Amino acid sequence: MKTLVIGAGIAGLSAAQELRKANHQVILLEARNRVGGRIHTDRSFAEVPIELGAEFIHSSRVPTYSLAQKLGLRTFHYNQRDDTLVRLPDGVLRTVAEVGAQAQGYDNVRLIDWPEAGEESLEAYLKRLGDRQIPFKLQEYISDFDHPRYLSAKAAREYLCDPSAEEGDYRLLDGYD
Ligand SMILES: Cc1cc2nc3c(=O)[nH]c(=O)nc-3n(C[C@H](O)[C@H](O)[C@H](O)COP(=O)(O)OP(=O)(O)OC[C@H]3O[C@@H](n4cnc5c(N)ncnc54)[C@H](O)[C@@H]3O)c2cc1C
């Protein structure tokens, strides 16, 4: 059977690989002049790879971690230090230490006490809950990822309520691509 896969981002590449394993003939169509989509490693700027897109593997629980292990790719465990800069939802850059100091008042707000999230954006979820104080862990999550409009409320809640979320991230030393 012949299958056409549109888009050579990680989703399209994975789908094409699975189809090939199942002996399908695959045509992978990509609009750009490179594969990878939002995974985009640049090697023209420096001797080390610079990530213009995805850079972290978010814990050892996610499929990209097992894939990296299987392929023997070198990983580096990354933990934010006190002087690491983070971008807050209002766009301001602060060090982790400063954010921690600011967050003292949020210590008692636990995400676990928040109602279940549906298949909605994090922005819609926060609006639905009205003027509740946003837990610090959630603020950190938003500043680490993207605008709440583009984040899944359900995924954010599941991720943050998982006790192993404290594990931190990994980088791929030789480039995400
Ligand atoms: C700046 C940035 C940082 C990120 N950091 C992380 C991170 O640290 N860790 C992490 O896990 N994730 C991160 N992400 C998210 C991650 O990169 C994406 O979730 C993932 O790469 C999406 O893969 P995808 O295949 O679903 O989509 P995409 O990568 O968007 O791939 C879609 C592909 O389809 C092509 N396409 C679209 N329409 C057509 C068409 N009509 N015809 C042909 N081709 C088409 C596009 O050109 C593209 O190549 C980051 C994303 C960005 C932008």
Integer CA distances (angstroms), 15 to 9, 11, 18, 64, 73, in order: 10, 6, 5, 14, 21
Spacing, Cα 150 to ligand 1 middle (Å): 13
Beta bridge partners of 71: none
Query: Which residue's CA is the closest to the ligand 1 atom numbered 31?
Result: 9
Spacing, Cα 167 to ligand 1 middle (Å): 24
Give, in degrees to the nearest 5, the angle at Cα 64 between 80 and 111: 55
pLDDT for res 101 = 66
Contact 30, 7 (CB under 8 A): yes
**Tokens, residue 103:** 């967050």
Across the chain, which has 177 residues, the per-10-residue mean pLDDT values are 95 96 96 97 94 91 91 88 75 78 60 84 91 78 81 87 75 95
Spacing, Cα 64 to ligand 1 middle (Å): 14
**Tokens, residue 162:** 């998982």
Mutating to test ligand 1, I would choose from 4, 5, 38 the residue with most ligand atoms within 8 A of its C-beta, which is 38
Please tell me if the CB atom of residue 8 comes closer than 6 angstroms to any atom of ligand 1: yes
Please tell me if the CB atom of residue 161 comes closer than 6 angstroms to any atom of ligand 1: no
Read off the pTM.
0.77
Give the span between the Cα atoms of 101 and 20, in whole angstroms. 52
Q: What are the boundaries of each domain within the chain? A: 56-172
Integer CA distances (angstroms), 25 to 11, 19, 79, 98, 134, in order: 17, 8, 43, 54, 49
